[in-house]
Amino acid sequence: MVIPPDGSRGGVDVRGGGTGTREIETLSPLANAEGPTAVLLTGGSAFGLAAADGVARWLEERGVGRPTPMGTVPLVSAAVVYDLVEGEAGRRPGPDEGYAACENAREEIPERGPVGAGTGAAVGKLFGRERSTRGGVGYAATGLADGTIVGAIAVANAFGDVIDVDGKPLGAPRDESGRLVRTADVLPNMATPPGVQGPAIESGPATGNTTIACVFTDASLDKRSCAIVARMASAGIARAVDPVFTPVDGDVVFCLASGADPRRPAGFEATWALTVLGAAAATLIADAIRDAVRQAA
**Residues contacting residue 268 through CB under 8 Å, at least 6 positions apart:** none
For the ranges 231-240, 260-269, 281-290, which has the lowest average pLDDT? 260-269
User: Which pLDDT score is estimated for 198?
Assistant: 45
Q: What is the CATH number of domain 9-296?
A: 3.60.70.12
Domain locations along the chain: 9-296
Name the residue type at position 32. N
Q: Using one digit for the tens of pLDDT, what is the confidence trace for 284-293?
A: 999 999 999 9
- State the average pLDDT over residues 233-239: 97
For the ranges 83-97, 99-113, 158-172, which has the lowest average pLDDT? 83-97
**Residues contacting residue 20 through CB under 8 Å, at least 6 positions apart:** 45, 46, 48, 49, 79, 80, 82, 210, 250
- State the average pLDDT over residues 267-275: 83
- State the average pLDDT over residues 173-192: 89
Name the residue type at position 238. A
